[in-house]
Amino acid sequence: MNADINQSKVLFRLAKKSDARALAKIHLLCGDKQVDSFMEKLGKRFLTSYYVTVLECKYSVIVVGYRDSDNEIYGFHSGTIDTFKQRKNMQRRYFYLGLSAIFCLIRNPLLITDIFKRYQSLGDNFSTAIVREGPRGEYWAWRPGAPKSGAGSIHRVWHHVLFNMGARSVKSEVNVSQPKVRKAVRAMGGKVVSTTMDFNGNERLIVEYDLAEYCRRFPTQSVIS
């Protein structure tokens, strides 16, 4: 199976609402390997509802990488052109999203504490743990066994898309698992603008990309289909 995967060409396109289930599946596969990842704990039903909601928002930007032979999605890079407006849109769907997580919360009520901490942080205008306005990179996931080159390519494609939409810079939150994370951020063209702590006291970097500089440094021949 992996041999067939590696022989297939990776193409890129903007995600559609019908991709929500596939995005949820990939998030589940990749989430438990990422530092302090949380949403996969709420299950596939919640993640599918979450990505439906994200894709319904006109400020969201999600690029998927897929196999040309059968359109199977390898991975995706998500984010927004306007963090504040996207978050306002998401707040109107909190009840719907809460219902989709209810079965996981019944099985594991301790998750309610984590949800409450995140909700508090979102409402705390003085918290430095999250990006609150402007363009923002959110989630970057690439399926195990998929062509490794695609993971870097989709990062470049997503940032080029934001630049072509008129964004001049984009910020992301990056949790630090080991020292090489900082080196990786710099290697990918990012600048650490601040160091803070996430909801659970883990070190977190707020990273910014100058998109004009990024696109000059990392040109891409990949075309959005």
pLDDT of 123 reads: 60
The CA distance from 110 to 224, in Å, is 41
Pick the CATH number of 2-217 from 3.40.980.10, 3.40.630.30, 3.30.110.40, 2.40.50.140: 3.40.630.30
Place of tokens 């918290």: 127
Q: Give me the phi and psi of 159, to 5 degrees please.
A: -70, -35
Name the DSSP letter for residue 91: H
The whole-number pLDDT of residue 223 equals: 67
What does the chain come to in residues? 225
Q: Where are the domains of the chain?
A: 2-217
pTM of the model: 0.88
- Write down the pLDDT at residue 197: 85
What pLDDT, on the 0 to 100 scale, is given for residue 18?
97
Angle (deg, nearest 10), helices 83-91 and 43-56: 120
The 10s digit of each residue's pLDDT in 94-132 is: 888 888 988 888 888 888 887 777 766 666 555 688 899
* pLDDT tens column, 27-38: 999 987 776 677
Packing angle of the helix pair 43-56, 20-31 (nearest 10 deg): 130
Q: How confident is the model at residue 61 (pLDDT cuts 50, 70, 90)?
A: very high
pLDDT exceeds 80 at position 199 = no
Q: What is the distance between the alpha carbons of residues 198 and 92, in angstroms, rounded to a whole number?
A: 24
Which is nearest to 71 in space by CA: 151, 9, 149, 7? 9
Residue pLDDT, tens place only, 62-84: 999 998 888 899 999 999 999 99
pLDDT of residue 6: 46
Sheet holding 10-14, edge to edge: 10-14, 60-67, 73-80, 136-142, 169-175, 203-210, 191-197
Sign of CA dihedral 145, 151, 153, 157: positive
User: Can you list the alpha helix ranges (DSSP code H) found in the chain?
Assistant: 2-7, 20-31, 43-56, 83-91, 94-100, 102-107, 111-123, 149-164, 180-187, 211-217
- Distance (Å) of CA 143 to CA 2, 13, 116, 223: 11, 17, 30, 21
Contact 177, 196 (CB under 8 A): no
Residues 46, 103: Cα–Cα separation, whole Å:
9
**pLDDT above 90 for 11:** yes
Handedness of CA 150, 187, 191, 118 (dihedral sign): positive
Structure tokens at 24: 């949820």
Token couple for 149: 């080159």
Q: What is the pLDDT of residues 139-167, one digit of tens each?
A: 999 999 999 889 999 999 999 999 999 99
